[in-house]
Amino acid sequence: MLRTYFLMLLLTLTAGCGRDYYTYDGFDVTGEAGQTRIVDVELEAYVQKFESEWGQRISFRVKVSDIPEGKVGMCTTWTNGDKLAEVDRVYVDLSTPNQVEQVVMHELGHCALGRGHDNGTWTFSGLILPDSVMRSYAFTVSESNYYGSEHSRYMDELFHRNGL
């Protein structure tokens, strides 16, 4: 139990190290990415939530991966339009559904909406919470519970914030 907690803490703290979105010239030679909607079953419900808020279907691969360097999610795009969104396998296995959903929303925010990071804060009932799912490091368990209870507010920020 202690070890699990430590691992989760470690992942949370390192989740924001470095960028998690990249664009490369050309197309994905590995064939992993593409321009067709292929979603791993563990992530399907979260992707559908994103699509229903967006009002469009995504057109790329979303998968559970072993992501190095402590990142919990990643979005990679190529100049021909190929895209790949990934969420780390250990994070999916050890995190709460709200935490996993936040990371899926974050990576689709990069890959589908072209959004960058936003580390602003929002004061709610005297608490300082992340302003956006696009924060550069993953939400804690507690923050993700507010993401769940204030879901419509976070979706409004993600899809309707001016200056996208």
Q: What does the binding site for Zn ion look like in residue numbers (CB under 5 A)?
A: 20
Q: How far is the CB of 1 from Zn ion (least distance, A)?
A: 30
Q: Which is nearer to Zn ion, 20 or 101 (CB)?
A: 20
Q: Phi, psi (5° rounding) for residue 61?
A: -85, 135
Q: Which is nearer to Zn ion, 20 or 86 (CB)?
A: 20
Distance CA 40, CA 79 (A): 24
Distance CA 134, CA 37 (A): 22
Q: Where are the beta strands (DSSP E) in 34-157?
A: 38-39, 61-65, 73-78, 83-88, 121-124, 127-130
Q: How far is the CB of 126 from Zn ion (least distance, A)?
A: 28
Q: How far is the CB of 125 from Zn ion (least distance, A)?
A: 27
Q: Which is nearer to Zn ion, 81 or 116 (CB)?
A: 116
Question: Which residue in the block uniquely carries the two structure tokens 């691992």?
Answer: 7
User: Which residues are registered as beta bridge partners of 124?
Assistant: 127
Q: How far is the CB of 137 from Zn ion (least distance, A)?
A: 9
Taking CB positions, which residue lies at the least distance from Zn ion?
Answer: 20
Nearest to 84 by CA among 43, 123, 52, 118: 43
Q: Which is nearer to Zn ion, 18 or 126 (CB)?
A: 18
Q: Which is nearer to Zn ion, 8 or 75 (CB)?
A: 75
Q: How far is the CB of 132 from Zn ion (least distance, A)?
A: 11
